[in-house]
């Protein structure tokens, strides 16, 4: 392993279900954070606490907490640019926020909601609550869900074929979930069924697939303007999953790590964990204008290893995150390395003023020491958040929409600051 020297687009009212006053919060004991969530174009983040409350911050307002939805606990969250969806313990999905493109998945278009409502699906002219979901992800204006039968369903914007169902025309959005299908040629198709995990870029979607020999591969669909589908092409969108390939031949698939999160999509780049090192190396494809693929070229339509300036590949990666124009990994020693756009300090290495990282750099604390004890990392639009092994949250980068959760909007932070996820509300600007 290469050695290092030792945080949504609408008013926050659309996020609010239960808003806790400072007095109420003071009576709630700190219980720690189980998991954190954001998205490549999100201007905020959410966390699920140990008591299964959901706490969200950013988008220009204070912390907003949700105790339960429809009387059920929250298991997971997907954060779009204007809409938030939650996976509940009964495997249903509920959403709130902007619905311009049908992001709420409730059979309607337009408007916005401030309360969570269920996603539904159409079947034999009847509409039923969407369920049997094991994971959800969000792009800019589309959402996707992985079901227990390993199928993938998507809804919302189809501006770039990111829904993966060619029966939905390019640009014709869907206000209910549709099944992602694999084109077989001559107009025939079959549902994508062997998906193990999913990820959404701004206008693209990817999945890790279980192959018949027990290995894992990647498939992507949607926008491909900079080669972020990894199929050897650029500029041509795909309305059906295409294999992430090592050489452009769809039968020569890139092997990826057999774990959730082994493929992660950013705005117009994608990265994967590759099982050829201890434990994994990283390969990226797509846009590299800001160094987000660390490949040494402006864009690459095929996976290339993330490298250091001396061309040594990054190894020892155990978890992966991609954001708007950057990427990060957690290494086996629980430190963090990032590469890409640093215009807002999202690399966390004390280097603002557009000092982009074209190869991995260590995230450091305020005193210059290496950030450690990290168990999860997420990236949003120009900011990054990490969950520590002690279950606290640290964030760094852009804070213009209070993505860091540290008070009134102010300048970016180029090193991690603690986000008081379970703390009192200190800014009453929900309708600003």
Q: 243: exposed, middle or buried (C-beta count within 10 Å: 0-12, 13-18, 19+)? A: buried
How confident is the model at residue 31, as a pLDDT? 57
How confident is the model at residue 124, as a pLDDT? 64
pLDDT digit string, tens, across residues 35-89: 999 999 999 999 999 888 899 999 876 678 898 999 999 999 999 998 999 999 9
How confident is the model at residue 52, as a pLDDT? 85
Q: What is the DSSP letter of 370?
A: B
pLDDT digit string, tens, across residues 82-109: 899 999 999 999 999 999 999 999 999 9
Q: State how far the Cα of 108 lies from the Cα of 386, in Å rounded to an integer.
A: 36
3-state secondary structure of 24: helix
pTM of the model: 0.89
Q: State how far the Cα of 286 lies from the Cα of 222, in Å rounded to an integer.
A: 13
Cis peptide before 279 (omega within 30 of 0): yes
Report the b/e string of 344-355 with b at 16+ CB within 10 A.
Answer: bbbbbbbbbeee
Residues of the chain with confidence (pLDDT) below 70 = 1-31, 61-62, 124, 352-354, 408-409, 422-432
- Mean of per-residue pLDDT scores for the chain: 87
Element (H or E) spanning 241, and its range?
strand 238-243
Identify the structural domains of the chain with CATH numbers, from first to last: 12-419 (2.130.10.30)
How confident is the model at residue 40, as a pLDDT? 96
- What are the beta bridge partners of residue 65? 18, 55
């Amino acid at each position: 392993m290469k050695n290092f020297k030792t945080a949504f687009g609408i008013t926050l009212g659309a996020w609010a279900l239960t808003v806790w006053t400072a007095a109420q919060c003071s009576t709630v004991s700190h219980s720690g954070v189980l998991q954190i969530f954001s998205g490549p174009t999100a201007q905020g983040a959410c966390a699920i606490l140990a008591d299964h409350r959901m706490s969200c911050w950013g988008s220009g307002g204070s912390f907003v907490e949700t105790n339960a939805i429809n009387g059920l606990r929250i298991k997971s969250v997907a954060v779009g640019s204007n809409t938030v969806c939650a996976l509940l313990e009964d495997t249903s999905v509920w959403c709130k926020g902007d619905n311009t493109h049908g992001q709420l998945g409730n059979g309607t278009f337009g408007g916005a909601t401030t309360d969570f409502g269920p996603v539904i699906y159409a079947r034999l002219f009847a509409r039923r609550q969407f369920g049997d979901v094991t994971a959800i992800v969000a792009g800019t204006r589309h959402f996707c869900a992985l079901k227990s039968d390993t199928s993938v369903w998507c809804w919302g914007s189809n501006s770039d074929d990111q829904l993966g169902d060619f029966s939905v025309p390019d640009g014709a959005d869907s206000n209910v979930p549709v099944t992602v299908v694999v084109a077989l040629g001559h107009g025939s198709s079959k549902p994508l069924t062997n998906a193990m995990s999913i990820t959404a870029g701004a206008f693209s979607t990817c999945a890790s697939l279980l192959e018949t020999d027990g290995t894992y591969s990647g498939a992507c669909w949607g926008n491909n303007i900079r080669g972020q589908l990894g199929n050897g092409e650029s500029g041509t969108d795909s309305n059906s999953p295409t294999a992430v390939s090592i050489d452009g031949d769809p039968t020569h698939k890139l092997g990826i790590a057999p774990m959730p999160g082994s493929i992660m999509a950013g705005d117009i780049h994608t990265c994967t964990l590759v099982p050829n090192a201890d434990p994994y190396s990283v390969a990226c494809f797509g846009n590299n204008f800001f160094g987000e693929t660390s490949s040494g070229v402006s864009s690459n339509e095929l996976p290339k290893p993330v490298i250091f300036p001396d061309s040594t590949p990054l190894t020892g990666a155990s978890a992966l995150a991609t954001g708007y124009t950057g990427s990060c990994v957690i290494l086996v020693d629980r430190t963090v390395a990032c590469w890409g756009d640093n215009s807002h300090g999202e690399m966390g290495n004390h280097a603002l003023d557009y000092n982009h990282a074209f190869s991995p750099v260590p995230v450091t604390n305020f005193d210059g020491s290496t950030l450690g004890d990290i168990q999860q990392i997420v990236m949003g639009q120009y900011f990054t958040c990490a969950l520590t092994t002690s279950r606290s949250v640290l964030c760094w980068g852009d804070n213009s929409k209070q993505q860091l959760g540290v008070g009134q909007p102010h300048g970016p932070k180029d090193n991690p600051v603690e986000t008081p996820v379970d703390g009192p509300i200190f800014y009453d600007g929900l309708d600003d």
